[in-house]
Chains A and B, each alone.
Chain A
Amino acid sequence: MQISGAQMVIEALIAEGVDTVFGYPGGAIMNVYDEIYKQDGFQHILTRHEQAAVHAAEGYSKASGKVGVAMITSGPGFTNAVTGLADAYMDSIPLVVISGQVPMSLIGTDAFQEIDAVGISRSCTKHNYLVTDAKDLPRVLKEAFYIAASGRPGPVHVDIPKDVTAQIEEFNYDIELDLETYKPNVKGNPRQIKKAMEAIAEAKRPLFYLGGGIINSNAAYEVRDLIHKTQIPAVETFMARGTLSHDDKYLIGMLGMHGSYASNMAMSETDLIIALGARFDDRVTGKLSEFAKNAGVIHVDIDPASISKLVNADYPIVGDVKNVVNEMLAQADSIDGSRYESWRETIENFNALHPLTFHEDSERIKPQWVIQRVGEILGDDANISTDVGQHQMWSAQFYPFTRPRQFISSGGLGTMGFGFPAAMGVKSASPEKVSVNFTGDGSILMNVQELMTAVEKKLPVINIILNNNFLGMVRQWQTLFYDKRHSETDLSMQPDFVKLAEAFGGVGYRVTTKEEFDAALKDAVEKNVVAFIDVVVERFENVLPMVPAGGSLFNMMLLEKKEDK
């Protein structure tokens, strides 16, 4: 059939099974938006900022496992979206982001709202396209969805000049993809897997190191089976929270900069790391030369470039975690889990020595208490997103996650302003769950305009602001490493968050006691509304334990015992 480039975009999205598109129109993308107006194949959610459109698509993708889609215009529309692209790239989130571009005849003339979008996005996307002929659109869009979701997932950017969206051409989406230069290795070498299993059987203190790749490849339940079958303890990265349920007896906890003492000590004492979809990030390893010094390394990852990049792998296995873990499961009978009993005891002792906890305060609410309390009240019924800062780390430490895709946060890039729009995306993908966004008084103001989107589109996100009148994490570093010089981190001057929520048609609560918090959360959940719960918390609370940047994992700053205080 002969249709315009703009219609091709719509037809391709529908053919890809897209049900929700986040976006913001503008001059160069208007032909496409005109077709959006005419169709009912998917819903379009108008955010109030392009960055938020991409974060919402990320949240949608993380919660659903599907490819997220965002649509934006040229120039400032595109540049606003770059942070979202970079965020998705760092966290391997499959997205297709479509931008309008000035007409072909104006490209390179510094035309109104022109920017070299593909030039800018090249370093923060898995791949990108400038489509110069509508004849290429079906192939490009099909490739874009395939590349975004396959191999190590990531964002793909498609830039389409305005005249190309107006061009009429034959449309046929029933195309066989021919990408001879792109063939991700998903299977995992059987010989290497066999060798790895032999190494596990011989190890005395093996440790599973679970990364976000497990969530991306939907392998969490297979990983649970493997861990239960082998009885080997496991630590999770920040990105892997929810792979194991919080009450799983083999889960030690999160490791890394703000990981638990037991997790980091286990990592320091292990003789065999079994890394699944984890990339030995600097926030996890601390000082590399001191990291797991006596351990052999099995490293399973779909991205060959991640293997042996920072820590040398003795058993490198390139493949999709799900496939490799299934193969390991088939060979797991050879492993006698009772061998590791004393190792598990050692870890329990670590945990007993310095459990992950905090000191309650009778006068002020502790931020960790808020997170635990939401866990007690909502638990599995909530999907949790976060912004970036102290509240983010406390969420990862203290929320009782029960399943994969329950925890959605900006790990790699650490994007303040991610949480609220991402939570809207989560809510649209998973409407049956309560969508809670833990945020800070700094982070929430970075995309606060999305109150309007959430209210208009009836996406009842409950934003819990852990309000300490500080850029808390920077303040913590200033306290610890800059002799308490709190340079430009004091946020004493703040809006009235209750009125702010109300001004947009949401509901606001100001909370200073635990009782008020319980009542506010109950009310917000029952009313099913967009809410700000502004919780006044202890100002100077630190996220502990902590491995100072560049320090050794086993050398942690720990919570002082109460009697020491």
Chain B
Amino acid sequence: MTTDNARRVISVIVVNEASVLSRITDLFSGRGYNITSLTVAPIPDTKYSRLTIATLGSVKIMEQITKQLHKLIPVLRVYEHEDMVEKEMALVKFDITENLSDINTICEAYNGKIVNAGESTVIVMVADEPKRIDNFLNSMKRYNPKEIVRSGAVALER
């Protein structure tokens, strides 16, 4: 965690209110910080939402990001993950003529499966660590994916 410009993941707990998301993203853009990915959803049965932000920065930059985020009035908590379970999801669309049994086998290795089959295309879903999602997408190249969409990361401290 001491490497400069390492990838880091932070969770931000905020009050669910209008424009809170733009307060957070404005802070990043206004101060020149980087957002690699961002996911946000309400925390069930509370008035809060959780944001998971993947970013790049040195220890010093991370300290500033954390402190500056915490200065925002609707922010309840900010913490950087050290020992976490982190997952990301990807959906990939293939032509139905590709080798679907191969694709399905590889998907299973990445916590995934075929989730939709249409007349001419199938869609697979995988959910795994971001690095493994990279690997999965690389291995899918040979099956000529028509469309790829991936989510941002979500993380929970162990």
Contacts and interface: CB of A to CB of B under 8 A. Distances in A.
A181 B15 contact: yes
Contacts of B30: 123
B74 to A, nearest CB: 6
A489 interface: no
A308 B26 contact: no
Contacts, number: 35
Interface in A142-192: 147, 179-182
A279 to B, nearest CB: 13
Interface in A292-346: 303-305, 308-309
B67 A122 contact: no
A495 interface: no
Interface residues of A, number: 18
Contact of B63 (A118, A181, A308): A308
Contacts of B19: 118-119, 122, 130
B68 interface: yes
A182 B71 CA distance: 8
A181 B16 CA distance: 12
A180 B76 contact: yes
Contacts of A126: 73
B58 to A, nearest CB: 13
Contact of A122 (B26, B68, B70, B76): B26
B73 A303 contact: no
A130 B18 contact: yes
Contact of B73 (A182, A305, A308, A309): A182
- Chain B's interface: helix, strand, loop or mixed, by majority? helix
A135 interface: no
A125 B100 CA distance: 55
Contact of A304 (B22, B70, B76): B70
Contacts of A308: 63
Contacts of B18: 130, 132
Given A179-B73, A303-B71, A119 B22 contact: yes
A127 B64 contact: no
A127 B26 CA distance: 13
B137 interface: no
Interface string B54-78: 0000000001100110110111100
Contacts of A132: 18
Given A119-B22, A122-B22, A123-B30, A305 B64 contact: yes
27 contacts: A119-B19, A119-B22, A122-B19, A122-B23, A123-B26, A123-B30, A126-B73, A127-B73, A130-B18, A130-B19, A132-B18, A147-B73, A179-B73, A180-B76, A181-B14, A181-B15, A181-B73, A181-B75, A181-B76, A182-B73, A304-B67, A304-B70, A304-B71, A305-B64, A305-B67, A305-B68, A309-B64
Interface of B: 14-15, 18-19, 22-23, 26, 30, 63-64, 67-68, 70-71, 73-76
Interface of A: 118-119, 122-123, 126-127, 130, 132, 147, 179-182, 303-305, 308-309
Q: Which 3 A-B pairs have the closest CB atoms?
A: A305-B67, A181-B76, A127-B73
